[in-house]
Homo-oligomer: A and B are copies of this chain.
Amino acid sequence: MLDSIDILKRNTLSVTESRKAILDLFIDTDGALAHADIEKNISNDFDRVTVYRTLQTFFENGIIHQIPTTDNTVLYALCKDKCEAGHHHDEHVHFICNLCDKTICLDEVTVPQVKLPKGFKPLQKAMVVKGICAECKN
């Protein structure tokens, strides 16, 4: 089981209330979170600025990764063990449900290779699929 304190220590980050709370929220959430989601769902009230800085720190340390969106937000989701700072292994597909609006990391589904035109050198790739998730299908 994932433990927020473990994760922080493993990344040599000091263990503070806000970091624990935000990390716990990620652990408890089966999906991605935007800044606004965190503000809305966090138990204790932390300063908005703290949330920004915490997300930034987590991202820089490879604890969370970003998911591209088309709505002026950035979504973040927990990285799996293989992620490291600066070298994310988050090339899995992300699924956004049109009904429940959740964004789910399909960790087991890797982004397929794609043949690019001559001269293009791919370094990272991201894939986002929208549709109906397994929960809402029922």
Which residues on A are within 8 Å of B, measured CB to CB? 66-74, 93, 95, 98, 106, 108-109, 111-135, 137
Query: In whole angstroms, how far apart are the Cα atoms of A3 and B128 in the complex?
Result: 32
Tell me which of B117, B121, B130 contacts A106 (CB under 8 A).
B117
Q: Check A116/B129 contact, CB under 8 A, given A72-B72, A72-B73, A72-B74.
A: yes
Stoichiometry (number of copies):
2
Q: Of all chain B residues, which has the CB nearest A70?
A: B66
Interchain CB contact under 8 A, A116 and B137: no
Contact B132 A121 (CB under 8 A): yes
**Quick one: given A72-B74, A116-B93, A116-B106, are A127 and B98 in contact (CB under 8 Å)?**
no
Chain B residue at minimum C-beta to C-beta distance from A113: B112
A114–B120 CB distance below 8 A: no
Q: Is the CB of A114 within 8 A of B109?
A: yes
**CB<8 Å pairs between A and B, sample of 20:** A68-B70, A68-B126, A95-B122, A98-B123, A106-B116, A106-B120, A109-B115, A109-B116, A111-B127, A112-B113, A114-B127, A116-B129, A117-B134, A120-B132, A120-B133, A120-B137, A122-B129, A123-B131, A125-B127, A125-B130
CB nearest neighbor in B for A66:
B70
A66 CB → nearest B CB, Å: 4
